[in-house]
Amino acid sequence: MTEISTAPVASPPRQNPRPPAPARPGTEAPAAGPPRHRRDIEGLRAVAVLLVVAYHCGLPVHGGYVGVDVFFVISGFLITGLLLREARGTGTVSIPRFYARRALRLLPASTVVVVATVAAAALWLPPLRLSAILSDALHTAIYAMNYRLAAVGTDYLQADAEPSPLQHFWSLAVEEQFYLVWPLLIIVFIRRRGLGAVLSLLTVGSLALALWQTRENAGWAYFGAHTRAWELGIGALLALTALRLPRWCVPAGLVAVAASAVVYTAQTPFPGYAALLPVLGTAAVIAGGTGRSAGVLGHPGLQAVGRLSYSWYLWHWPVLLIAPHAIGRPLAVWENVLAALGALVLAALTYALVENPVRHLGALRNRPWRGIGVGLGISLLSAGLCVAITFAATQLGGTTTYRAAVLDPETLDPKSLSAQIAASVDAPAVPVNLTPTLRHAMKDKPRYYTEGCNGTFDDPEVKKPCAYGDLTSDTTVVLFGDSHAGHWFPALEAAALRERWKVVVVSKSACTAAESLIYLPQLKREFTECVRWREDAWRYIRSLRPAKVLMASTYPSSELLGVPGTQDEAWVSGWERSVRAVSTPGTEVYFMNDTPWQTGSVPDCLSEHLDDVGACARSRETAIAKPERRKLIIAAVRRAGATVIDPTPWFCTATTCPPVIGNLLVYRDQHHITTAYSRLLAPELGAWLR
C-alpha cells in the first residue's frame, strides 16, 4: 500500500534569536541552535500528502505513493533536529519527554480516526469484515500494522481480500519502530563523536536490505521498518550535518519527486533503487532550502494543506474506502476527489478541536510521565471502544431461520446434483446450517497447506513427498498446478480413498501449470521461481511414473512475459508443452477447466445479504472468463493427449452460478471453492478419473 506519515511541526521561533553563522553551499554547519519554523518543509508536506491523496483518488499520478518516502525523510530531519538540540543543550535526551511529545502529537487524532473508522465499518462494510478490521485497529494501537500487512500480503490465499480502511497506519508504525532505537543511539554516541558514523552505517545497511529484499520479497520490503529506516536516516543525516546545498537544488529536488510520482506505477519494484529518486529529491529540497525563503512551497494554500497533512492523511483513506459501500456503488474519479475533499474538512475539524489543542497542553508537555500516561490511556480507550463497537455490531447482526437440505456425497448422483443447483438459485436466505460458516470460510483451506506441501512465492523447490490417500497403493495420481489445483484436493483425496489410489500433491500458489513467465504483484517482479519450480515439478512427476495426472490452474488471464506472438498463442503453447512434459508411457493426463468466478468475496457478500442469496450469484456467462481463450486451450491439450474435464455443470445452471448449493458454501472467497463443496464433488471427479 502506499501511505504516508508525518512528524511534528518545528516549535515556533524564539524572539530575537541569534542568527547562525552563514555557511557556503556544499559545506556542513553545526546542528545545534534554536528551532525555527521551516515554511518550505510545511509546503513539502503538502506536496507529499497531495500526491498520495491524488493517487488513491485514481488521478493519473500512478506513483503518488512516493509521498510516503517524502514524509519519512521529513520526519527523520525534524525529529533528529529536535533531539540534537536537546542533547547539545543539556548533554542528554529525555526519553520520557520525547515519547510524551510523540504521544501527544500522534495519538489524539489517530484515536478519533480509528474509532470513527471502526464505527463506520460497522455501519456500512460487510459484517464479516469487522473482526479483521478490529484486529487492524488493535495493531495500530501497538504500532505493528506494518508487519500485519506484510504477513497478510504474502499470503496468496488472502490476496483478493479487500484492503483495510486502517492499512495506512503502517507508515506510523515504521516511524515509531525507528524512534524506539534512534533516541537511545543519540544518548550513547552524542558525546563520543561517533553518531555520524553509526547513523551512516545504519542508513547504508538499511538501504542494502531494501535493495535485496525488494527483489526477494516485495511485501516485507515495502512494509518493513528495517527496509525503510534508511529513508528516515537520510533525513537524520541532514539534521546531523546541517548540510546546505545550492538554491537550485530545491526545484531540482521537486522535479525528482514529481517525476517519480508520474513515471512510477504499482508495478515498480519498491522500495528498491526506485526509492532513491524521491528520497534524494526530498533531501535536496530540505538541504537547498536551509536558511532561505520558501519560494513556491510557501504558497498560502500549500501552507494550509501542510498544517493539515497528518489529519488529512488519517481521514482520506477510510473515507475513500467506505464511501462506495455507504452509497452502494463504486465511485467515479471525480466523486473520489469530492470524498477526499470531505476528508479534508474532517481533517480541519480534527486539527482545530483535537490535534492542536492537546499537543499544546502545558500540563502534559511539561510533565512527561503524565503525558505518557495520557498516551497509554488514549491507546487503551481506543482499543476498548473498537472492541465494544465490534461486539455490539456482531450482537445486533441479522440471522436467518432457513434450514437447507444437507447434501451428502454418498447419496448424490449427477442428476440430483443438478437438481440441487437449480433449487439453490432461488434459495430464500443463507441457510442457518451453512457449512462452512461464513465466519470460518476464510480459514477453510485444504489440509496440505498446513502440512508444508504448498510452495511459497520465493521457494522454487517442489515439496516432497506429499502423499495422501492409500499410501500402499501401486496406483499413483498426481495433483499438479496452483491453488486452483489445490482446491480439488479434498475431492481427489476422498475419491482416492474409495478407489485405493495414492495421491501426490505438486502445488505452488500463483504458479500456473502451463509453461509461462508472469509478473507477480506480490513480488513486484517476474515470477522466476515459478519457472524453476515448474521445471522441477515436470521432472519429479515423470520420475513417479503415475497412472494419472490431474492438471488444473486458475483461468488464463495473466499477461505472459516475453512471448513472440499473441497472448492466446502463448497460453495455448504453454499448456500444450506442459501436458506433453508430464506425459509418460502409461500415464493418463487430465486437464481440469477452471471453475466459475464470482464477482467478489462470496462470504462478505452473503454477510450483507443474509435474506437475498441471489444478490451474490453471478450469471454463467460472466462467471466463465475469457471463453474464447479457454476453447483454444481445450483444443490444444486434447491434441497433446489430455482428457478435458469441465466442472462448470457442477457449479451452475444454464444461466446462473449460485454461491450456496444446498447447505454448502461453494466459495471461500471469490474463486477458491470450500473444502466441503470440493468433497461433495468426489463422486463426480472419481467417475471421470476412473
pLDDT averaged over the chain? 89
At 605, phi and psi to the nearest 5?
-65, -45
At 379, the amino acid letter reads: S
Instruction: Please give the pLDDT value at position 21.
Output: 36
Mean local confidence (pLDDT), 522-544: 93
Q: What is the pLDDT of residue 659?
A: 97
Q: DSSP label at 226?
A: H
> Long-range pairs for 114-118 at CB < 8 Å and ≥24 separation?
114/140, 114/141, 114/166, 114/169, 114/382, 114/386, 115/382, 115/385, 115/386, 115/389, 116/318, 117/165, 117/166, 117/318, 117/322, 118/385, 118/386, 118/389, 118/390
Alpha-carbon distance 537 to 74, whole Å? 49
- Asked if 434 and 665 count as a contact pair (C-beta separation under 8 A), the reply is yes
How far apart CA 330 and CA 342 sit, in angstroms, is: 17
Calculate mean pLDDT across residues 496-513.
Answer: 95
Cβ–Cβ < 8 Å for 10, 31: no
Cβ count near 456 (within 10 Å): 15
Provide the Cα torsion 93, 97, 101, 102; round to 10°.
70
Which residue, among 504, 497, 512, has the nearest Cα to 548 in the 3D structure?
Answer: 504
Q: Where residue 10 falls among pLDDT bands split at 50, 70, 90?
A: very low
**Residue with more model confidence, 271 or 15:** 271
Cα distance between residue 665 and residue 677, in whole Å: 7
What is the Cα Rg of the chain in Å? 29
556 neighbors 563 (Cβ within 8 angstroms): no
Distance between CA 480 and CA 468 in Å, rounded?
14
The per-residue pLDDT for 408 is 86
Which has the higher per-residue pLDDT, 283 or 367? 283
pLDDT in tens, 185-228: 888 887 767 889 999 999 999 999 999 999 888 889 999 999 99
Give the CA distances from residue 471 to residues 291, 480, 507, 689, in Å, rounded to whole numbers and listed in that order. 77, 18, 19, 18
| Residue pLDDT, tens place only, 534-571 | 999 999 999 999 999 999 999 767 788 888 889 899 99
The confidence score (pLDDT) of residue 291 equals 57
* Percentage of the chain exceeding pLDDT 70: 92
**What is the pTM assigned to this prediction?**
0.86
Average pLDDT value for residue range 95-102: 88
Cα 482 to Cα 497: distance, rounded to the nearest angstrom? 23
594/555 Cα distance (integer angstroms): 6
pLDDT of residue 5: 38
Q: Tell how strand 476-481 and strand 548-552 pair up.
A: parallel
For the segment 252-299, what is each residue's pLDDT rounded down to a tens digit? 999 999 999 999 998 899 999 999 999 999 999 999 987 567 788 999
E-strand stretches of 334-421: none
Query: Cα dihedral sign for 413, 414, 418, 419?
Result: negative
Residue 672: which pLDDT band, with cuts at 50, 70 and 90? very high
C-alpha cell at 14: 524564539
pLDDT (tens digit, 9 = 90+) per residue, 632-655? 999 999 999 999 999 999 999 999
Give yes or no for residue 334 having a pLDDT over 80. Answer: yes
pLDDT category of residue 92 using cuts at 50, 70 and 90: confident
Whether the pLDDT of residue 304 is over 80: the answer is yes
Residues paired with residue 492 on neighbouring β-strands, in sequence order: none
Residue 159, pLDDT score: 56
Flag whether pLDDT at 164 surpasses 80: yes
Give the residue among 120, 219, 121 at the shortest CA–CA distance from 456.
219
